[in-house]
């Protein structure tokens, strides 16, 4: 799947993607209080940090499957690896597009998330 990118975030290309093309990695839905906190932060500050996504197909995801991950529908998808709470908040806020940092593998996305959390996200707001 080819994704048109505009700039970079921590070395990953950033693209403005349609919410309709994104698929959350897990079936996890945050507790109502966390969901409200994230939603309110985005409503006030906007999306400060991009979601981290991976273009993936059913075959690609099967190779990295872990317990709790949602099954992908048929066909290529862009999977939200980091930022699932923000994904659900954006859905509730009726966002149509969102900035996404595009990793090539789930491992690359997770590694960046781990480094960012250890050193502090570039921006503390969502």
Of the candidates 64, 59, 102, the one whose C-alpha atom is nearest the C-alpha of residue 82 is 102
Q: What is the dihedral of CA 79, 18, 108, 48, to 10 degrees?
A: -120
Q: Tens digit of pLDDT for each residue in 24-53? A: 876 666 677 888 899 999 999 988 888 999
> 25 in a domain, yes or no?
yes
Domain with 74 in it: 7-119
Query: Whole-model pTM?
Result: 0.74
**CA gap 12, 52 in Å, rounded:** 9
Domain annotation covers residue 125: no
Helix 32-45 to helix 84-92 angle (10° resolution) is 70
Residue 124 lies in a domain: no
Residue 124 has pLDDT above 50, yes or no: no
Q: Quote the CA–CA distance of 46 and 27 in Å, as a whole number.
A: 24
Q: What total number of domains does the chain contain?
A: 1
Q: Residue 95 — very low, low, confident or very high, per pLDDT cuts 50/70/90?
A: very high
């Amino acid at each position: 799947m080819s994704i048109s990118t505009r700039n970079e975030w921590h070395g990953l290309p950033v693209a403005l993607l349609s919410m309709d093309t994104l698929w959350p990695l897990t079936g996890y839905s945050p507790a109502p209080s966390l969901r409200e906190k994230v939603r309110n932060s985005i409503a006030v500050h906007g999306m400060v940090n991009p979601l981290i996504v991976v273009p993936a197909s059913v075959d690609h995801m099967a190779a990295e499957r872990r317990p709790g991950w949602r099954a992908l529908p048929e066909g290529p998808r862009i999977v939200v690896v980091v930022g699932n709470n923000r994904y659900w908040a954006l859905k509730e806020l009726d966002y149509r597009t969102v900035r996404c940092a595009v990793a090539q593998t789930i491992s690359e996305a997770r590694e960046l998330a781990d480094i960012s959390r250890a050193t502090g996200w570039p921006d503390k707001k969502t």
